[in-house]
Structure 1
């Protein structure tokens, strides 16, 4: 037998057989419950570089959290459904546009949270102004402050926030804090931040920790990307902004002069308890402590300016790509206009087709993205989609460097919008835990339009004639990056 294997031709046949078997397994297993583009990308990787490809797939090829965490999500979802029975009657359905009821039902089915009326929602487009607003809200806290941010760093910019947390703890307020473990490891100031939280007496836990020696491990790129804060169940904040200096304190960003431009939202009303339900779910997932869900009756203020709001959580703890389904449905429901702002735009095929189709239907379709990128692969991948969009009639605005437009919002027609943490890319659709907020309000969309006008004034509109003339090597790297974007 040893002599047989020592023969080079025999060894070649053995390796070929192993290769074929691996390819067959890849076809049968990888193609199950994956988008065709994703499955093909993984199969080609495993076939052409089998051993490296298998290791890569084992590390990052599964787009769902462990069953135990998904079971916790379902358990809390069931509690939420019991608690919110009849809440949908509190919204103003008689004023909804034709397509909105279907969107609301879709979101409720996937994420368990209803759309409720009686909310006051305010946009916070100023980076330091939103931090000041959150600090002021903390100073009004009497019972608890729940904080959940993908990146949370104590630095010069966030000092007002951390100082407010310290004052809250001193008053006897319970302060609970969650931040993503890997994001903390990758950003400067982690030790200082954790020491600050411990010293003040806040209850802190890392989300999706990567601590194999303690039995804590999951796919490394399944991350909790949510940004939210709730004070006493009465005031909530959500949006795109991480709690960190606008340069992220990274030397390369500072050297390039990069500054992040964000959009946060402050909410008063019944929807705040839905934001809190998302925090409760994540806290339970990380600590096994199930906080009490607010079950008190909701009393709506009949003031005409108050709006209907639905919180839409999504991510690998759910069985469906909640935000992807919402975004695609919204684009197809649009009858006049589609406006999308996304810092990382690597659309799933259904999103791309929906945008191209909307433009073909004669709708005004516009996309705001950054002129400059902080992540090379994503930056080149998203550029590969511009030509198809421009040829379809989509207007693309490149927000001028050195600011990075990191805001994430999406509106259709004149009265429906989404603001949240989700990018328009594969990572946010399938890999990251995100939170989006669906809003029905013409006044709110008008405010969003004013912010978009500011983007447009600070942007360069991309023209098809100029774009197709870009250097050949740029086109090459754009295409290469596009191919790798489906490896998830």
Structure 2
């Protein structure tokens, strides 16, 4: 005869079985097998904690309304850019590049266009000064979008230039990530400075449930870009903040972030601005005018073809992931990767190992130290497999943190932007990358990588496998958590 305790036990068991069934039917849909298995095991073995965790961080796409806005702007971009992809040096493209360009166009709606000049900016303060100079030349508008945007001693020249632009009557629009602003010192001072100068500011992906602004907490806008008058643009890895991020623990450890930005001039700048226009529309419901002016392509041989590739949870596909994997598979000589957070999705890892197995020269630049413990240990768990495959791994020496994000294949195709080569950047963060075809540009990137190599120690397999067991344990444990997304 059942008593109350028996009834409760059977009720809990039925709930457990129901949760397991829901996990199998719902969680496995449209997820990578490893991710689905990780979530199902979590819910099966710690059911009620697991389901709460899934409800908080288990949804990898933004709300439908925001995804609808992305599709709407994509349609406008496609209508505006018909035939624009013909303005390029297509006859000089290496075999396979046209399929990459088509893939990116289908995923992100932005074409590959020629007639651009590109300059790498590897100096942290130098890049801020370069942006300030262009803002001082602005006549119509300045569009600013950074994951982290802070007014401090290092960024003062940038904010001073914005203020001067406002005083001249230039329209200044500014976006920064809401959660990143809350988590970094100087938020109130920064917002006050923007308000006083007359810039129009909005937070990206705000967490304000009382206003209906809510999504998975860690779906963030990680993009970094500046557009001036639609003529000059900047993109890359650098946030607009002091190289220590103004955090006491970083300052006490002497940590400084090393970045790589680029300055671009030419038709591709309108594509950078299209990404800003999309994000502005998502946050304000105001759709700014897209540049529809005719493109006159300068056929000078030193000018490069470039394609902007936006990605993130506002898209239905993992745009960056598909591009990166396709690039690595198409490489015939060399693959060089720089990523501060390297936690590769299975297809990326297989592509890299396969490239090394095909006899290609494959190298990876990462930091010797990490500022995020879980990511740091997770990425270390992949080193042994890479080393055994023949991948050369260079550890950029502390106290600098190598935060640059770029990679190249062979001698004339490269990607630079805000996207790490990790699962978070592929699926959870809104990112922006630029695909570039130019032997001259890749040569310049090689010079930057030579600088990394000179300030790095090469990791050797025989030393790595001898590291302490407790380190191996934490590396493996952290790797397991990377699939809970």
Distance in 1, Cα, partners of 2:193 & 2:38: 44
Distance in 1, Cα, partners of 2:248 & 2:211: 32
Tell me whether 1:362 sits opposite 2:327 in the alignment: no
TM-score by length of 2: 0.99
Q: CA deviation at 1:418?
A: 0.1
Distance in 2, Cα, partners of 1:156 & 1:393: 44
Instruction: Trace 1:308-323 onto structure 2 (pairs within 5 A).
Output: 308-323=305-320
* Aligned counterpart, 1:207: 204
* Aligned counterpart, 1:221: 218
Distance in 1, Cα, partners of 2:106 & 2:16: 43
* Aligned counterpart, 2:292: 295
Distance in 1, Cα, partners of 2:154 & 2:371: 20
Tell me whether 1:259 sits opposite 2:260 in the alignment: no
- For residue 425 of structure 1, the aligned residue among 413, 422, 427 is 422
Distance in 1, Cα, partners of 2:281 & 2:129: 29
Tell me whether 1:350 sits opposite 2:332 in the alignment: no
Q: CA deviation at 1:13?
A: 2.3
Distance in 1, Cα, partners of 2:224 & 2:401: 18
Tell me whether 1:384 sits opposite 2:384 in the alignment: no
Q: CA deviation at 1:4?
A: 4.5
Give the CA RMSD over aligned residues.
0.8
SS in 1 for 2:430: strand
- For residue 135 of structure 1, the aligned residue among 121, 132, 136 is 132
Q: CA deviation at 1:12?
A: 2.0
Tell me whether 1:340 sits opposite 2:332 in the alignment: no
* Aligned counterpart, 1:16: 13
Instruction: Trace 1:31-110 onto structure 2 (pairs within 5 A).
Output: 31-110=28-107
Distance in 2, Cα, partners of 1:222 & 1:11: 38
Tell me whether 1:151 sits opposite 2:144 in the alignment: no
Q: Deviations over 1:383-429 (max 9, x none)?
A: 00000000000000000011000000010000000000000001000
SS in 2 for 1:91: coil
Q: CA deviation at 1:14?
A: 2.1
Distance in 2, Cα, partners of 1:358 & 1:307: 26
SS in 1 for 2:176: strand
| Gap runs ≥5 in structure 2 | none
Q: Deviations over 1:231-273 (max 9, x none)?
A: 0000000000000000000001111111000000000000000
Instruction: Identify if the C-alpha distance between structure 1 residues 391 and 139 changes in structure 2 by more than 3 Å, giving closer, same or farther.
Output: same
SS in 2 for 1:365: strand
Distance in 2, Cα, partners of 1:48 & 1:197: 49
Q: CA deviation at 1:10?
A: 3.4
After TM superposition, what 4+ stretches of structure 1 lie above 6 angstroms from structure 2?
Answer: none
Q: CA deviation at 1:5?
A: 5.3
Tell me whether 1:306 sits opposite 2:298 in the alignment: no
Q: Deviations over 1:43-89 (max 9, x none)?
A: 11111111111111001100000010000000000000011000111
Q: Deviations over 1:128-154 (max 9, x none)?
A: 000000000000000000000000000
SS in 2 for 1:401: coil
| Gap runs ≥5 in structure 1 | none
Tell me whether 1:116 sits opposite 2:142 in the alignment: no
SS in 2 for 1:275: helix
SS in 2 for 1:284: helix
Tell me whether 1:373 sits opposite 2:370 in the alignment: yes
Distance in 1, Cα, partners of 2:79 & 2:19: 47
* Aligned counterpart, 2:175: 178
* Aligned counterpart, 2:396: 399
Q: CA deviation at 1:29?
A: 0.5
* Aligned counterpart, 1:436: 433
